[in-house]
Amino acid sequence: MAEAVVTIVAEGIKPLVDYIIQQANFLGGVSDQVEVAQTELQLMLGYLKDADARQGEDEVVRIWVATIRDAAYDLEDVIETFVLKVASRREGSLKIVLKRFACIFREGYHLYKTGLEIEKITTKLSTLRSVLQSYNIRETRGSGGGGGSSFERQQEMRLTYPHVIEREVVGLDDGVNILTTHLVDEEKRSRVVSIWGMGGSGKTTIAKQVFHHSKVRRSFDCFAWVCISQQCQGIDVLEEILIKLTSATNEQREEIEKMKKDRVAEKLCIIQRERKCLVVLDDIWTRDAWNTLKAGFPINQETKSRILLTTRNKEVASHVDENGFLYQPHALNDDESWELFEKIALFGRDYTNSESYAKKEELGKKMLQRCAGLPLAISVLAGLLARKDTVEEWNTVLENVDVYIRRGTILEREYKGQEYEGTSWVLALSYDDLPYRLKLCFLYLGLFPEDYEIPVKRLTKLWVAEGLSSASTEIMEEVSYSCLIELVNRCMVQVGKYGSTKNVKTCRLHDLMRDLCVLKATEQSFLHTINVSAATGTKAAPTSKVRKLAIYLDKEVDKLVPTSDERDGHLRSLLYFVPTQFFWNKRVMRSIFEDFKLLRVLKFEDMLGGVELPSTIGNLVHLRFLSLKNSRIKKLRSSIGNLVCLQTLDLRCRILVRRIPNVIRDMEQLKHLYLPASYNRVSGKLGLATLPHLQTLVNVSSKDCDLIDLAELRYLRKLVVEVQSLKNLEEMLKSTSITFNRLRSLSVQSDNEEVLVRMPLSCHHIFKLQLKGPIKELPEGLKNYQNLTKISLSETLLKDDQIEILENLPKLRMLFLEGYTSVHIRAFPRTLVCSAGGFPHLEFLSLRQLCKLKEWRMEKGAMPSLSRLHIEHCIDLTSVPDGLQYITTLKELHVKRMPSTFCDRLQEGGEDFYKIQHHRWLAAFEVTGTVRLAKLGANSVVNELTYLRFSISEAINVKCNT
């Protein structure tokens, strides 16, 4: 991994180094020193490939490699700090400063000091290279990294595998049927059903199959699934379960989060006694973890509710309920192992050459013998081999298997013991096979907490800010996304959710894969984590400096400021992960901005308290990524304009930002700007014309910004804008045709109908469109927008026939229709007609607050791909359409805040029951504080619907407090 770091540093400083060399006549000896330092870095690369490979075998080599990595980082810090320090004292942009280096280096003191520091680091690098030679580290040349894949190879892989490989399910049917029977058969009387076994044996996969099984869905009223981390916080878990069982709104969620633990536990027990609930506790580690939760479960009381848990410890399952049912997944047999392996490793390959296939089958089955039938080990090995095209490459992997198995015993000791036996070697093999940049991307995931759902767009921005992506400025995030997809295809990263364009929206790590990630990152001093609530964290090597730090906060413990060991002045990344309702203070902010002047990434989100950012924020001149999303910020200081290296600035704060200084225009490297939903300017309008690299612009308004500036934003891909008048629009459109041709996502809010009609017509390549305002007719040209996948229409006055334009869009997957909160405003639609063949690829439909919608007709053949339907507060709608009975793909149906007559028609025996009776589930109706249950029929014909919830009352606990 040091090879990757040194390569990235060498690439990062190259523009500065090149210019310094060009200005040698003005810079005296410093230009020579910089050139020597760059040469030393290049020479070092020749030895680091072999050194990286030997780290796992030699502790001394590992220490030397960490020292080399630190020296490379120090060199980058010295050069960038010098340039930015001089730039801050001169007028003009950073670009001007870089072009006029002769002027910069007239500051003799800084020139002298910089020269000394560079010379010192160069000497250290030279000495370290000699040390590596003395340890018989071989010099190698060529591209680094085990996989050796460049961006071009990644692009090729995307073509070969255009969709993400999802984890296949093989050999689990028997276990699913056994567990389902014990949950739904009341004669079994198993209050707790447990799945226990070693990591990677498929416990969670089986639990998911059971959770969505048709018999289970018909047998329970309400459901909750929670992941239990190793540092289980009882109150947080109980709150999450209560929120899910009651389908709490945002306001109700806040009410629950304010409750004390005993009150939350009491509410949980009541609802589990009065209703038939299924709660899944996934991956519970210890007895102590259960002890913090048991007050919320009436296990020893009369109840039809059930608990399904997964654990690696049989004693934990017995401790929860000594009379409960225990199930241990069996290892896959040879045939099942090969079936799973083949689906991943040989997916989509054309094997007209049967000899090649036969040889790969022979090699694959030999390697599978080492996987012990564990699904995770098989999936990861298959994911690795899916990247190998030739028989020779497969044979090389086979030759390395025994080496990694021997090394795996060491990893098992580093992990948690025997429960990792059979998986550690293949995890290590999959890691070592990664190209060097992918190793860095993978290790970076160790900063995120266990079971954390990672937003992919946020992740790619972080990778770019950290310099982990090597490409031109405009496509860095595309390259980063390619890296993520390659990790997914290697089965090292799991997909969480997909977006409307079928891109991966969120991702996560399997527990065992995260263990490997943290272990490798700790070994190589790549990152450091602090879990405040558990008083645990990774330990940095004594010879290495802390560069990347993540702090997991707790409501009960106030430790926002790192210790003196972590505050050594070299920290580059600081990420906070907070629970709900966490309050911060000025002292914390002041400490961060004063002590961490080399920070490149600062994630300070979801903090409450309503503070003003101190002026010392301007000290963080190296920042590339700054997010204050969902934090309560009252005012920004003008010193934020010093952050000239910023690429991402997220100011979407929870409360009104009273003051935004007009200094954002100085951030010439900015690519993503998220403004608050509402704010006050200091003076004049915010300038945007000087931000040529901007790709994302959210919450910009014509009242606060001059929209003519958008003409200069030639790389803009996402725009969320409020246009107050037609004049504003005309001024903007005069010169923005090139700009909007690149746009992929557009959201427009306006009180002027013509603005809403004309604006989308200037954006021919958008995938996502949101319109909010009194528009009566959709743009006629919209029907020619063949790439639209997501449309949201809010508070419109559209005519009923406008739905015809929408249903003929060939790629539309998501449609959101939202009306006014007032019932006195005429709103679209009054009659909703969905024609046969209409909406051919629509997967998600949301109808919300359509107060004038009286009739919904759906012809047979309409919406053939619909999988999710949301109906909320459409108070005049009397029934679901007849055509709903013909949709066999429906998996989720949410009905909220609807009249009781609407829901009564859907009950068994009701007038509309036939429209949904072929779908599997059980509905729970909440009407005027009374819970009534109605099964949707045991004679189901089509078993596709897996999620159906009805909620009329918004109350959290309708009768649960009596």
Place of tokens 């189901």: 940
CA distance linking residue 530 with residue 536, whole number of Å: 6
Going by pLDDT thresholds of 50, 70 and 90, the confidence category of residue 315 is confident
CA 95 to chain centre: 33
Going by pLDDT thresholds of 50, 70 and 90, the confidence category of residue 99 is very low
Going by pLDDT thresholds of 50, 70 and 90, the confidence category of residue 948 is very low
pLDDT by residue (tens digit) across 726-757? 888 887 777 666 668 889 999 999 999 999 99
Mean pLDDT of 24-28: 46
Mean pLDDT of all residues belonging to the chain: 78
Instruction: Decide the pairing of beta strands 528-531 and 790-794.
Output: unpaired
Phi, psi of 493 (to 5 degrees): -130, 140
pLDDT by residue (tens digit) across 850-870? 988 999 999 999 999 998 899
CA distances from 662 to 204, 666, 675, 684, 719 (A): 51, 9, 12, 8, 20
Nearest in space to 616 (alpha carbons), one of 587, 636, 594, 595: 594
Q: Is 21 helix (H, G, I), strand (E, B) or coil?
A: helix
CA distance linking residue 34 with residue 101, whole number of Å: 14
Going by pLDDT thresholds of 50, 70 and 90, the confidence category of residue 101 is very low
Phi, psi of 112 (to 5 degrees): -65, -45
668 vs 254, more confident: 668
pLDDT by residue (tens digit) across 49-67? 667 666 656 677 777 777 8
- pLDDT for 14 equals 56
Position 331 pLDDT exceeds 90: no
Position 284 pLDDT exceeds 50: yes
CA distance linking residue 742 with residue 730, whole number of Å: 19
Residues in the chain: 962
CA distance linking residue 24 with residue 27, whole number of Å: 5
Cα(first)–Cα(last) distance of the chain, in Å?
61
552 pairs with which residues across the strands? 531, 577
- pLDDT for 461 equals 95
DSSP codes joined into one string, 74-94: HHHHHHHHHHHHHHTTSSS-H
- pLDDT for 718 equals 95
Mean pLDDT of 535-549: 67
Position 19 pLDDT exceeds 80: no
Position 721 pLDDT exceeds 50: yes
- pLDDT for 194 equals 94
Compute the half-sphere exposure of residue 712: CA atoms within 13 Å on the CB side of its CA. Answer: 13
- pLDDT for 836 equals 94
**Would you call 387 exposed, middle or buried from its count of C-beta atoms within 10 A (0-12, 13-18, 19+)?**
buried
Whether 602 and 582 have beta carbons less than 8 Å apart is answered as: no
Q: Is 501 helix (H, G, I), strand (E, B) or coil?
A: coil
Whether 165 and 379 have beta carbons less than 8 Å apart is answered as: no
Position 90 pLDDT exceeds 60: no
Q: Is 735 helix (H, G, I), strand (E, B) or coil?
A: coil
Q: What percent of the chain has pLDDT over 90?
A: 26
DSSP codes joined into one string, 393-406: HHHHHHHHHHHHHH
- pLDDT for 951 equals 43
Task: Return the minimum-mean-pLDDT range out of 57-66, 170-179, 349-358, 555-564.
Answer: 555-564
CA distance linking residue 805 with residue 760, whole number of Å: 14
DSSP codes joined into one string, 413-441: HHTTSGGGTTTHHHHHHHHHTS-HHHHHH
Compute the half-sphere exposure of residue 173: CA atoms within 13 Å on the CB side of its CA. Answer: 3
pLDDT by residue (tens digit) across 810-853? 999 999 999 876 655 666 778 999 999 999 999 999 999 998 89
Q: Is 774 helix (H, G, I), strand (E, B) or coil?
A: coil
Task: State whether the Cα torsion 300-303-305-306 is positive or negative.
Answer: positive
CA distance linking residue 363 with residue 366, whole number of Å: 5
Going by pLDDT thresholds of 50, 70 and 90, the confidence category of residue 347 is confident
Whether 147 and 434 have beta carbons less than 8 Å apart is answered as: yes
CA distance linking residue 55 with residue 53, whole number of Å: 6
- pLDDT for 65 equals 77
Q: What percent of the chain has pLDDT over 70?
A: 75
Whether 215 and 179 have beta carbons less than 8 Å apart is answered as: no
Position 759 pLDDT exceeds 50: yes
CA distances from 21 to 9, 100, 115, 790 (A): 17, 13, 14, 51
Task: Return the minimum-mean-pLDDT range out of 3-17, 55-69, 396-410, 529-543.
Answer: 3-17
Phi, psi of 798 (to 5 degrees): -65, 150
DSSP summary character for residue 685: P
Establish whether the linkage from the previous residue to 15 is cis, with ω within 30° of 0: no
Task: Return the minimum-mean-pLDDT range out of 78-82, 693-697, 874-878, 909-913.
Answer: 78-82
